[in-house]
Amino acid sequence: MCSIIAYAGQRVAAPMLVQGLKRMEYRGYDSVGLATISNKHILVKKGVGKVEEVNKSLGLEKMNGSVGIGHTRWATHGGVTDTNAHPHQNCKNDIAIVHNGIIDNYSELKKSLIARGHKFRSETDSEVIAHLLGDFLHKKYDIKKAMINITKKLKGTYAFVAVFDDGTVAGARFDEPLIVGISKDGYFVSSDVLGFIEHTDKAIFLDNDEFVILNDNGHAIFNFDGSKVKKQVTQIAWELADAEKGRFAHYTLKEINEQKHTIINALFSKDSKLDEFCDVVAGAKRVVLTGSGSSYNAALIAKQLFSKYAGIHCEAVISSEFQYASGLLDKDSVLIAISQSGETADLLQAVKIAKASEARILSIVNTPTSSLARTSDLFLGINCGPEIGVAATKSFTAQLALIYRITDILSGQKLCPNKSDVERAIGKVLNDTKNIANIAEKIKYIGNIYILGRGLHFPVAIEGALKLKELVYVHAEGLPAGELKHGPLALMDENTTVIMLNPDDETYSDTLSNVHEIKARGASVIGVSNVNSNKYDNWIKIPKAKDILYPILEVIPLQLLAYHTALKRESNPDYPRHLAKSVTVK
Ligand code: BG6
């Protein structure tokens, strides 16, 4: 996905647009561009690279004008080139647009525009928006009418913002987030509150099928049919400081270290909606959990905990697979959707499908103003603050902690973790960086790595493997240790490295036998456990704790291992190649 930002007001736009794009760069970071208006002329500068680099080479911040738009790209249609970078313009260059999403019918629109003499400069789907607007305005210069007409034509998902040489800014949203920021000296339009959090905490969240027009008369919001909409102004909870790296070299390391607070907050959450949430789950005939990436791995742990401690048996379905799992839900069912961003397209589609079968929608989300939170019947916040690092870290453990809290209530307080024990244990694992950095040095050039665990440790093994994939670009696989003899053992030899999740709980002795089987084939084993073994080539010690806490205590060292190994391979842990923080396109 991409990030969009716009400003119209009294101040010089470019420096604020560049700063806003830097804050949203986790959304997509292969190319950047700005368009600003001064003296009824639109100036466009764009290029391949990260905001910092392109700003330095093209002087984006120095562009004149108090009206402008900006964009960071995560390529879907057309390669990563200067020409395909946004903004895109119409033939007369009196309009410039930035777009996030996918225009499904762009090629037929493009064909008919070319047939009417339009000249296209890029390979993107987005450029059709600029030419279509130009086409409508050519007939009659009425921007509101043009927005009504274009939203009738476009098929797919989109949030786009256009700037016109008369200084007007217009933006529309369909299945992609778009937010208006209201500051004392002007208006922002952005994909994310982080785009303007430095300047205001007052925001209007556009809903689907709405567009906004900013001009000398201020702001106005309309439905796609042109009817005016009165919208509520929301006070944003997040502070600017939350979105800063502070003393840390990377957001990922900062967010890993924030877990000493974020886990406790979620584990002892006092959310007033908790009891109602649990009542709905307990009252449902069928419970289905869904999520993508790390959020799906949290769903796998919820499935085990609800069943083991509360006797509630549920399904966990990957969001992108949900559309193929028909007949899963009905009016007596509940879908629990788990998401950090609350904007992941696959997950929002799963929610749409569940709503169509009249199921109740509960969600566990980090962004309380997200599309998921606003479309759910009831949502619980994990409240771990903005997560900028592309690989989920603190959001995953906060999801687990809130799931423990829910399980505790559903099971009649069977879990009840002790606060100071948890704080002490997390502090210990966060301090083991030296040992982990040494292990990272040893594994930095391996091609394959397997993470094994049983029971609750299996989903953690999958999550650990995901961190290594995301940050180290290595083939990493999370496997149920019990499956070893049914195939994966064939992969074990002196070139293989295995991470064994093996704290001394009910899985300990069976998993230790697996360690012996693996060592017998010559592979090297990194043991993650509160108990050492002479079979481990390397040991990552975690503190003795209540069994229920081991999934949280063992995933943190795996996050740190992925982080330190990425550094050893000189890749940027915050912006892994080809990925984005939340994927708002299918
Ligand atoms: C990916 C992120 O794009 O989306 C992962 O890189 C994340 O870290 C996944 O787990 C799901 O995102 P969300 O916001 O729905 O939890």
Q: Has residue 306 got a pLDDT over 90?
A: yes
Give the SS3 label for residue 480: strand
Tokens of 378: 């009831």
H/E stretch holding 517 reads helix 508-520
pLDDT band at 583 (very low <50, low <70, confident <90, very high): confident
How many Cα atoms within 13 Å fall on the side-chain side of residue 163? Answer: 32
pLDDT class of 424 with cuts at 50, 70, 90: very high
User: Of 220-234, 235-249, 496-510, which range is least confident?
Assistant: 235-249
Distance CA 44, CA 39 (A): 14
pLDDT bracket for residue 2 (50, 70, 90): very high
Decide: 341 in ligand 1 pocket, CB within 6 A: yes
Is 416 annotated in the active site?
no
Rounded Cα gap, residues 543 and 559, in angstroms: 17
The CB-side HSE value for 585 (13 A sphere, CA atoms) comes to: 22
pLDDT tops 90 at residue 584: no
For 81-131, how does the pLDDT look when each residue is reduced to its tens digit (9 = 90+)?
A: 999 999 999 999 999 999 999 999 999 999 999 999 999 999 999 999 999
State the pLDDT at residue 303.
Answer: 98
Using 50, 70 and 90 to split pLDDT, how confident is the model at 191? very high
Nearest residue (by CA) to ligand 1, atom 6, is 581
Best of 25, 338, 340 to mutate for ligand 1, by most ligand atoms within 8 A of CB? 340
Instruction: Convert the pLDDT of each residue in 23-53 to its tens digit.
Output: 998 888 899 999 999 989 999 999 999 999 9
2 in catalytic set: yes
DSSP notation for 371-416: HHHHHSSEEEE-------SSS-SHHHHHHHHHHHHHHHHHTTSS--
In this predicted structure, what is the pLDDT of residue 238?
A: 65
The C-alpha atoms of residue 551 and residue 575 are separated, in whole angstroms, by: 26
Residue 345 CA to ligand 1 centre (angstroms): 10
Helical ranges in 211-331 per DSSP H: 251-257, 259-267, 274-283, 293-310
- pLDDT at residue 326 above 80? no
Residue 226: name the closest of 151, 153, 154 by CA.
151
pLDDT band at 239 (very low <50, low <70, confident <90, very high): low
pLDDT (mean) for 337-356: 95
Any ligand 1 atom below 6 A from CB of 382:
no
pLDDT at 242 over 90: no
pLDDT: is 415 or 345 the higher one? 345
Q: Is 583 in the pocket of ligand 1 (CB under 6 A)?
A: yes
Torsion-angle region of residue 516: left (phi > 0), alpha (psi -120 to 50) or beta?
alpha
Within 10 Å of residue 57's Cβ, how many Cβ atoms? 12
Name the DSSP letter for residue 148. Answer: H
Q: What is the mean pLDDT of residues 480-494?
A: 97
Atom of ligand 1 nearest to the CA of 390: 6
pLDDT at 244: 78
Ligand 1 atom 7: residue of nearest CA: 293
Strands 202-205 and 234-235 come out as antiparallel
Q: Name which residue sits closest to atom 2 of ligand 1, judged by CA.
A: 581
For residue 311, pLDDT beyond 90: yes
Instruction: Please give the order of strands across the beta sheet that includes 475-480.
Output: 475-480, 448-453, 497-501, 524-529, 538-541
Over residues 53-93, the pLDDT tens digits come to 999 999 999 999 999 999 999 888 899 999 999 999 999 99
- Ligand 1 centroid vs 231 CA: distance in angstroms? 29
Look at residue 318 and tell me whether its pLDDT is greater than 90: yes
Listed range (257-261, 385-389, 557-561, 577-581) with the worst mean pLDDT: 577-581
Rounded to two decimals, the pTM is 0.89
Distances (CA, A) of 524 to 158, 461, 492: 48, 17, 9
Task: Find the catalytic residue in 91, 419, 581, 586.
Answer: 581
Which of 2, 278, 314, 384 is labelled catalytic?
Answer: 2
Q: What letters, b where the CB count within 10 A reaches 16 and e where it falls short, cover 372-394? A: bbebbeebbbbbbbbbbbbbbbb
The pLDDT of residue 235: 85
> Mean pLDDT, to the nearest integer, of 462-472?
98
Neighbours of 424 (CB within 10 A): 13
Question: Is 375's C-beta closer than 6 angstroms to any atom of ligand 1?
Answer: no
Looking from the CA of residue 396, the nearest atom of ligand 1 is 10
**Banded model confidence at residue 325, pLDDT cuts 50, 70, 90:** confident
- Is residue 581 in contact with ligand 1, taking CB distance under 6 Å? yes
Q: How many residues does the chain have?
A: 586
Q: What is the number of alpha carbons within 13 Å of residue 21 lying toward its C-beta?
A: 37
- pLDDT the model gives residue 268: 87
461 alpha-carbon distance from chain centroid? 21
Query: Using one digit for the tens of pLDDT, what is the confidence trace for 507-548?
Result: 999 999 999 999 999 999 999 999 999 999 999 999 999 999
Amino acid at 258: E
252 lines ligand 1 (CB under 6 A): no
* pLDDT of residue 397 exceeding 70: yes
Q: What is the pLDDT of residue 241?
A: 61
